[in-house]
Structure 1
Amino acid sequence: MTLTLTLPRPDDWHLHLRDGAVLKAVLPETARHFARAIIMPNLVPPVVSAADAAAYRDRILDALPEKMAFTPLMTLYLTEDSDPEDVTSAHASGLVTAVKLYPAGATTNSASGVRDFTRVRGVLEKMAEIGLPLCVHGEVTDAEIDIFDREAVFIDRVLDPLRRATPGLRVVMEHITTSDGVAYVKSAAENLGATITTHHLVINRNHILVGGIRPHYYCLPVAKREEHRLALREAATSGDPRFFLGTDSAPHTDPNKETACGCAGCFTATNTLSILAEVFEQDGALDRLAGFVSEHGPRFYGLPVNEDTITLSKGDPVTYPEKIDTGNGPITLFDPQMPLHWRVT
């Protein structure tokens, strides 16, 4: 039996850090294990310009504990008023690693997102020209579309036409949740990758709804049927380099999660690697864990794989805190509802 596993230090290709007291509390939970992370720009107000991104990066680095090494990979929030030249200069300076597309109203703090995709054509064409990836929250927001169908409809109505109209644009389908998303990524010859979250490998929609409404399993995109979860696990553990880890770790304080209209998001930064090692071992794919968490993402983004390593050891079940305390209130850690035997040592 494998008792230890050494990997290149992982990266997180989709991460929410928020700001202020929450940022200070949750940043060490990622930086403890991850070398780099794509930082989501959906603050209030959003990170829409190079100046916004530089200021946010500085706040992140100021919040980083002294003995921790971590590189935030900044993104810009795409709006219908985004300036192609500002995007270009931010990328050229090394400040920005990607641009994030939120369909307006799709998720937390997405009100400033895109409604009319023709109005961002110039920015997308410039991004294709300079090789700057577009990270996509892949759901339509039409009220008449069932929430469990919104990813599949987005692929047909928005993403496929967008990619056909902008040849050469590198696209990351973030936090895919369906077999439709998996199949679409596999159908692409080039320039398309996808992140898969830790929690979507573990939960299906029953976890949210059976036995009462469980707000700490509510996320967007919402977890789907079991058949879709199994498709995600097959993709993540397959070794296919088009799929890589983006935790979408999304901290919300308990008062905001446990309201009549709770915020969407699962906070997984603390125990992600223990959960993933358990999942990959269950599926007989521990030899492919390094690809998913450490290698595929950097290669898609044209970055080097980290030279530092981490080691996971298997033993007695690992105990994690139930909550992370912040100056704004406690944040509940995602509970995978299974024993975890792997820990970072």
Structure 2
Amino acid sequence: MNKITIQTPDDWHLHLRDGAMLQETVPASARCFNRAIIMPNLVPPVTNADMLNNYRERILAALPDGQSFEPLMTLYLTNQTTAADIKAAKAAGAVACKLYPAGATTNSDAAVKTLTALYPVFETMAAEGLLLLIHGEVTDHEIDIFDREKIFIERYLQDIVSRFPQLKVVFEHITTADAAEFVLAGPDNLAATITPQHLLLNRNDLLVGGVKPHNYCLPVLKRNTHQKALRSAVQSGSKKFFLGTDSAPHEKSKKESACGCAGCYSAWSAIELYAQVFDDLGALDKLEAFASHNGPDFYGLPRNSGQITLVKESWTLPEQLTLADGSLMVPFFAGQQVNWKLAAE
């Protein structure tokens, strides 16, 4: 197959950042995604309805004329979040709340330190119809970074999913066979997003031959057996898995440093890289459901009415990008060849 047309997809996990970065990230995602779940881990994080509304306005202000894009907003949970905050966020148009364990990833220091203390908040979310989006890793220093997702499932996620059957839970950017198996065996209120980097790469691509800072993300890349499990999950066609890029931009200087930031900026090539994975797996017939159907169906939102077309055509990603303020950024897969390309309208 050299050409495929699918319903317009959405990105169910996206970091746009803020300020000058929006001039790059918003058009890059809007080129192929009609909607996106916007992560709230700014500085300061989006913890109330006013901040949520203001952030949405800044995103839309960065959208070029003629492009269509709907940011689906989320609230950043902390141990100070109240039922009133949840209701106000819902009234402001939020569709979900994001749970970061404190210290788990970029700009998460202000996040949740005592997870069980949020159970009353989860009850309010379920009543209001807001989804719970979870970065599923423990952060205990003594637990190996490659085991943190597995331990989170055992310590917290099993209880949350069973205790709140009316609360829809998205296990974000899963990285392990343990997570894929847990989601597949779980109840209907549980689903998961999978990123392009975790389908394409494993920890060898991060560490062999020298550290590759632009392949560094959190949750960190795992061994190839886990990568294979994720590829099998999307190949299965299960409705429990859907597209979430976790596209997470950082300036080049902040990635290539003594303490490099976590995140892969995949927006430039995300839908093309997913197509490449599905093609490699002989599962292009499963791409549309993964990219365009499973996400809105789980969120209870309508599917998009438009279409995009991808053609099998090789192209090479740029080595770096120049932002509006003159700083540089390196896209995921920089300088590498991609075998599928979004067709011009």
Is this a same-fold pair by TM over 0.5?
Answer: yes
Q: Structure 2 counterpart of 1:323, which letter? A: Q
Paired with 1:118 and 1:275, the residues of 2 have a C-alpha distance of 38
What's the offset of the Cα at 1:22? 0.8
State yes or no: 1:233 paired with 2:231: yes
State yes or no: 1:299 paired with 2:303: no
State yes or no: 1:169 paired with 2:167: yes
SS where residue 135 of structure 1 aligns?
A: strand
From 266, 269, 273, the equivalent of 2:267 is 269
Contact kept, 8 Å, 1:275 with 1:336, in 2: the verdict is no
Q: Structure 1 counterpart of 2:299, which letter? A: Y
Contact kept, 8 Å, 2:75 with 2:89, in 1: the verdict is no
Q: Which residue of 2 aligns with 1:321?
A: 318
Q: Percent identity?
A: 52
Q: Which residue of 1 aligns with 2:63?
A: 64
Contact kept, 8 Å, 1:177 with 1:200, in 2: the verdict is yes
**Deviations along 1:285-315, whole A, 9 cap, x unmatched?**
0000001111100000001110010001113
Choose 328-337 or 47-56, whichever is displaced more.
Answer: 328-337
**Deviations along 1:228-263, whole A, 9 cap, x unmatched?**
001001111221010001000000001000001100
What's the offset of the Cα at 1:278? 1.2
In the TM superposition, 1:124-143 aligns within 5 A as 124-143=122-141
Q: Which residue of 2 aligns with 1:290?
A: 288
From 126, 140, 150, the equivalent of 2:148 is 150
Q: Which residue of 1 aligns with 2:200?
A: 202
State yes or no: 1:191 paired with 2:220: no
Aligned residues: 342
What's the offset of the Cα at 1:88? 1.7
Q: Which residue of 2 aligns with 1:3?
A: 2
Paired with 1:252 and 1:273, the residues of 2 have a C-alpha distance of 20
Q: Which residue of 2 aligns with 1:181?
A: 179
What's the offset of the Cα at 1:35? 0.2
What's the offset of the Cα at 1:162? 2.1
Choose 277-286 or 146-155, whichever is displaced more.
Answer: 277-286
Contact kept, 8 Å, 2:35 with 2:72, in 1: the verdict is yes
Contact kept, 8 Å, 1:22 with 1:328, in 2: the verdict is no
Q: Structure 1 counterpart of 2:320, which letter? A: K
What's the offset of the Cα at 1:187? 1.1
Length-normalised TM-score, structure 1: 0.97
Paired with 1:338 and 1:240, the residues of 2 have a C-alpha distance of 30
Paired with 1:32 and 1:188, the residues of 2 have a C-alpha distance of 34
What's the offset of the Cα at 1:189? 2.2
SS where residue 311 of structure 2 aligns?
A: strand
Q: Which residue of 2 aligns with 1:17?
A: 16
Q: Which residue of 2 aligns with 1:81?
A: 80
Paired with 2:165 and 2:303, the residues of 1 have a C-alpha distance of 27
Paired with 1:273 and 1:337, the residues of 2 have a C-alpha distance of 17
Contact kept, 8 Å, 1:14 with 1:249, in 2: the verdict is yes
Paired with 1:270 and 1:236, the residues of 2 have a C-alpha distance of 21
Paired with 1:52 and 1:36, the residues of 2 have a C-alpha distance of 20
Q: Structure 2 counterpart of 1:344, which letter? A: L
What's the offset of the Cα at 1:119? 2.3
SS where residue 316 of structure 2 aligns?
A: coil
Choose 22-31 or 145-154, whichever is displaced more.
Answer: 22-31
For structure 2, the 5+ residue unaligned runs are: none
Contact kept, 8 Å, 1:101 with 1:134, in 2: the verdict is yes
Choose 164-173 or 181-190, whichever is displaced more.
Answer: 164-173
SS where residue 340 of structure 1 aligns?
A: strand
What's the offset of the Cα at 1:328? 5.5
Instruction: Give the CA RMSD over aligned residues.
Output: 1.3
**Deviations along 1:250-282, whole A, 9 cap, x unmatched?**
000010000011000001001111111111111
What's the offset of the Cα at 1:337? 8.3
Length-normalised TM-score, structure 2: 0.97
Paired with 2:119 and 2:221, the residues of 1 have a C-alpha distance of 31
Q: Structure 2 counterpart of 1:161, which letter? A: D
